[in-house]
Structure formats: structure tokens, C-alpha cells
Amino acid sequence: MPVYENGELVLYGFVGENLWDEGFTAREVITALAEHGSQNDLTVRLNSGGGYVDDGRSIYNALKVHGGDVTVFVDGVAASSASLIAMAGDKIVMRSGALMMIHDPATITVGTADDHDVSKQALERTAESFADTYAARSGNDAKDVRAAMKATTWMTADEAVAAGYADEADAETAKLAASFDYRFYAGAPEDLTQLAKSNGWSLKATEPAASAATTGQKETDMADPKPADGKSADTDNEVSDAVAKATARIQAILGCEEAAGREALAQEFAYRTELTAEQAIKALATAAKTSNSDVAGGGGIDEEAYERERLLGSGQGNPGGQAPPAKAAWSTAVANTNKRFK
């Protein structure tokens, strides 16, 4: 659905680009704010289970610098990064039955121990920054907010008002929670986890593709979060199958006999080229093994063989010039593993 309707900012669905084409991005919000006018009062309708930290923080910042008064209505749920967005409101109103959730950001990191350390430090800094934002809006001590985040705290409308995260709870009934895999969150209310299960909502289906289409443009009523074609389960299965194939390709390359003594090159083939497993193994077989004597004497990888096989995999290995399925699957599965959820 469009993010700007009838003069209101409508933020329903996943925060950031996603495969379902349901949600909103920081770019869309900033464009909508420019259309609305920087000095005009603004109503924001929010119903989101969260998404990506970067989009959430960017949207919060854009709303905070808006020249007019900003009133945020939590129509259904404001969880994770969506609750941070809500904090930008000069007035925050919770619908009857609406929920708000604050917690620590999370991520999945693929890489070395150093990579994981960097991710840990980034998560800590992000959590502290978010705690400061929640504390400033709610009037609570930042340490208390941080403890609530670590515990993953869910709040009803009245609880959010009492804790300072909202200004009032009104009598209008909340809408059905936006599509999101609430099973991903600790302590999520059972009705939300059951809703996610019964509708087949999964974070696998909300991971952004390498070149995701512009989101938020479909005329879809998020009060009925199922895709119009009813293929959410099919999409989930397709993504799972693609990831499984990509994983099998990588394991085949890294685990083959030809990779012994050529580990660095095998990793290059597996993660950074479009070579099929068969092409990569063939290239490894023609490459020189790395050894101490090789390094000392200037030997090592057969660069000509590597370049020949790389060029083969980049275009001629697939009819029609399309990238191999393993490449596309791994782009979807890995390109976003280091993105932080909130």
C-alpha cells in the first residue's frame, strides 16, 4: 500500500525492503514527507512488527526534524524498530488493543571471529543509542530502559501510557497486527505467534532480495495481511529451497578434495563468484596448491586458470546470460545476514 494516503503517513508492514512487497522504507517516507510539506502538521498511522535498524532510525530522524506537529497513532502493533519510529511523535496515541514492544537489536553474522566481535560492538552501540531515545521520550532512566530492552518488554496501550512510551490510549479498536513472524521475538503474546503461524508469516519471506523492487506501492489492505494471491507459503518454500541449493553448492566447493591446499581460492570461488560447484572444482584442480615453499618462492594460485574459469562462470555458464540460481539464492540468503534487525 502507498505510504502517503489522504494527507497521512501510513506505515504498515515490514520496516525496510522485503520480498513480500509489503512495508515501507526510509526513502519512501522521506519522499512522502517532502510531498506533505515540511511545516504542515502530520498524522502517522503505524502498524508494524519491525524490521531493519537503519530504516527505523532514518525514519525516526526524518519525523523528528519535521517542522509541523507529528501525531503517531499505533493502529495495531509497534514492535522493535517500529516502536522507535513511534517515539518521534509529538503525541503518541495507542488504539484500544494495540501493542508496543521494545527490545535489543539482533543480527546474524557470517564471517570470522573478528567479524562477530565487530557485530557485537555495533549491536551494543545501537542498543545504547535506542535506549537513549526511548528514555528521552518516556522520561525513564536510560539504565532502566536498557534493562527493559534486554528483557524484551511488551506493553498494552494502558501499560505503554503508564510507562511513558505513549501519551494516551483511545477507544478506537486496534486493527489486525501487520504481517510479521512474531515467533522471532521472545515473550511475544500467544495471539500474535498463532496469527503468524496460521498465516504462514516468516522472516524468510521478508528478507530483502539483492535487488528488491520498490515497496509500499501495492493497493493492499494490511488489515488482511495475506498476499492477494495467497502464495505466502509458496514464497517461503521457494526461498528455503533456494537457500538450501546455495548452501549445498558452497559445501560442495569447500569440501571437495581439490580444495585441500587451496582453501583461500576455494572460499573465493564459493562466496564471490558465479561458478557452479563443478566449474569451481575443475578450476581448483588446475590451480597450484599453496604451501610454505610456494609463498617463499613467489608461487601460489594459478591466476590465469582462475581468471579463465571466473570468466566462464560469469556469463557463459548460463543460457540467456542470467546469473546461476546458486548466485541468486546466495545473494538473497547472505547479502542481508549482516543487516541488523530491531
pLDDT at 130: 95
Spans of the chain below 50 pLDDT: 204-232, 235, 291-338
Helix/strand/coil percentages in the chain, nearest 5: 50, 15, 35
For the four alpha carbons of 115, 121, 123 and 125, in that order, the dihedral sign comes to negative
pLDDT at 79: 94
- Spell out the domains of the chain, with CATH numbers in brackets: 4-103+152-230 (3.90.226.10), 238-334 (no CATH)
Q: Which long-range contacts (CB under 8 A, 24 or more apart) does 283-290 make?
A: 283/308, 283/309, 283/310, 284/253, 284/256, 284/258, 284/259, 285/258, 287/262, 289/260, 289/261, 289/262, 290/261, 290/262, 290/263, 290/264, 290/265
pLDDT at 87: 98
Q: Which long-range contacts (CB under 8 A, 24 or more apart) does 218-223 make?
A: 218/1, 218/21, 218/22, 219/1, 219/2, 220/1, 220/22, 221/1, 222/1, 222/12, 222/13, 222/22, 222/47, 222/175, 222/178, 222/179, 223/175, 223/176
119 exposure class (CB count in 10 Å sphere: 0-12, 13-18, 19+) = middle
pLDDT at 135: 97
